[in-house]
Amino acid sequence: MTISLWTSILVAVVAGLFAAIIAPLVTARVARRTWRWQKRFELKYEIFRGAVGALAAWSADALDPRLQSSKADYKGHVRQVEIRPETAQALGYYNGLVSAFFFPKVATRFDEAARAPISIEKASDTEFDQKRLAFIQAAVQELGLDEN
């Protein structure tokens, strides 16, 4: 009879220690890891959205007849495709962020899309669209948003 009493007390003490000390530590660690993963995902998703927006602005500028008819001349040099300063800034900004937060494959795909030839004279040229799609697919796969 004494053994069962001591066993009961020991089990109660161990259960109390677990409930008071070990469980909160484990729960806090798991919650923190989940929170960090969620914040990292949100940050990368916002970078992805901004990068797609910058590529869309690049495409809109390249296919804008008014903008392309007013190309600036600097010491005899004219850009092949005229873009607004905001578009150039967005492309540079998101190029840096994509390079910093995504794997090199995704960063390379963004850079290739940003450098792909696109112009109003060759509006039917799909190289830009193919490279933009390759960037989007690579980023979606890294973010885990693909259905596979």
| pLDDT tens-digit map of 19-30 | 777 777 777 777
CB 87 within 8 A of CB 50: no
Report the run of H or E that residue 73 belongs to, with start and end: strand 73-74
| Residue 120 three-state SS | coil
20 half-sphere exposure, CB direction, 13 A CA radius: 6
Structure confidence at residue 90 as a pLDDT band (50, 70, 90): very high
Other Cβ atoms closer than 10 A to 27: 10
Query: Is residue 122 over pLDDT 80?
Result: no
What is d(CA 145, CA 81) in angstroms, rounded to the nearest whole number? 33
End-to-end Cα distance, the chain: 60
Provide the residue count of the chain.
Answer: 148
Tell me the two tokens of residue 100.
Answer: 């910093």
Closest by CA to 55, choosing from 106, 17, 108, 112, is 112
For the ranges 62-76, 83-97, 127-141, the lowest mean pLDDT is seen at: 62-76
| Residue 145 three-state SS | coil
